[in-house]
Amino acid sequence: MNFTSPFSLTIVLITALAFLGLPIGLSMIVGSILYLFLVGADMGTVAEQFLNGMYSNYIILAVPLFVLAAEFMNIGSMTERLLNFCNVLVGRFRGGLAQVNVVQSIVFAGMSGSAIADAAGSGRMMQNMMTRDGRYTPSYAAALTAVTSVIGPIIPPSIPMVIYALVSDASIGYLFIGGMIPGLLMALLQMVQVAITARRKNFPVEDPVPLRDIPKITWQALPALMMPVVLLGCIYSGITTPTEAAALAAAYALAISVVIYRSISLVAFYDALKTSSKTTASIGMLIAGSLVFNYVVTIENIPETLRVLLTGWDLSPIGFLILVNVLLLLLGCVLEGTAILLIIVPVFIPTAQALGIDMVHFGVMVVVNVMLGLVTPPYGLLLFIMTNISGAPVRDIIRDALPFLGWMVLCLALITFFPDLVLWLPRLTGYQG
């Protein structure tokens, strides 16, 4: 490899700027401009790639709308009512409040599509509930909230799956359906680990909810519980596209919070718009940077070069998937998930297609892998978010999260070796892959 080539210098510049603290999206834009300057290409190409990628792709619009839906849920009382309902389901078992943490992640997974939104919203409330009166240590509550938040983008809707669909042209609807069983499987394995730890550490048993209160709690939570039903029903019935369904999700969350729960003030509404705008801007800048950088990667013919290289290794489809998993797990330790989906994954797609690997199966596997990176040290964005929320040292949170990571890697292995765990439901709905 020529370390003085334009592409090498571009990679060095992007890496250096990122380590110096510049957002990775801006780093990629600056690095790509350097590349175009060195090879004598038209500088207007940067703006062209930015505009064509950001403003002509309808799929991207789903991202800010799902973010906005999550914000409306967090500022309303939907979160509290859903947690009360989850407590009815599993709160009476040993370690019941810890089991509630897992179940609420399943429920919220059908609404926000974002692990960070789940951790910052319902996760903050779960942290307070679990540590009240010393029931659980702050580090265990934070670790559990971090690992359960990973379920959110696996069970539909899912912002990472929308981004994967952007770079792969895979069907968003079938990706959403394909994530259901893996997401539920991961939640089941997490509940098994909670049960094991609860028995070993003698976790407390919560007071059971009186039977007379169950109908009232269920009724209060019903409008919020109907949100994923309405959302996914509209997508899979063909009434709306996934992007239109994201708009519907935001409108539904706002309507329920304002009209039925009456829990949103004008100040809170403004703050939700401001927060979602900031989040959307950061994601949009990352997408813009990746689109420009991917143009550079295309000029260098790297996807085709990698395909030829891997073909020369004579890898089987399973061997290729194992290699991708290992590489993504390692990259997840140091890179942000969206960056991996936008920069690294497109390089693997031509090889996966050449080997006959189904794009929906590959996409769900990649998203699960990327989500593991959110709780994998040293980067682990969710670990740092929960450190800020809980005040517990990050090393203690990592220690308590490690047993869950083992189960989550097992879940990743199962969906890698058994594609039908992903493809069975999509095929029931007409998928021909």
Task: List, for residues 129-167, the tens digit of each pLDDT value.
Answer: 778 767 788 888 888 888 988 888 888 878 888 889 888
Tell which residue, 412, 424, 375, 399, has the closest CA to residue 186. 412
Counting as low any pLDDT under 50, the low residues of the chain are none
Tell which residue, 110, 109, 104, has the closest CA to residue 126. 104
Long-range contacts of 306-312 (CB under 8 A, 24+ apart): 306/347, 306/348, 306/350, 306/351, 307/350, 307/351, 307/354, 310/351, 311/351, 311/354
Distance CA 409, CA 415 (A): 10
Backbone φ, ψ for residue 419 (5° rounding): -55, -25
Other C-beta atoms closer than 10 Å to the C-beta of 174 total: 27
Q: Is the pTM of this model over 0.95?
A: no
Residue 91: both structure tokens together: 């709160």
Residue 196: both structure tokens together: 């094991």
Q: Identify whether the C-beta of residue 93 lies closer than 8 Å to the C-beta of residue 192.
A: no
Q: Identify whether the C-beta of residue 382 lies closer than 8 Å to the C-beta of residue 374.
A: yes
Largest CA distance in the chain: 75
Which pLDDT does position 76 carry in this prediction? Answer: 66
Which pLDDT does position 117 carry in this prediction? Answer: 64
Q: Identify whether the C-beta of residue 73 lies closer than 8 Å to the C-beta of residue 231.
A: no
Residue 263: both structure tokens together: 């829990």
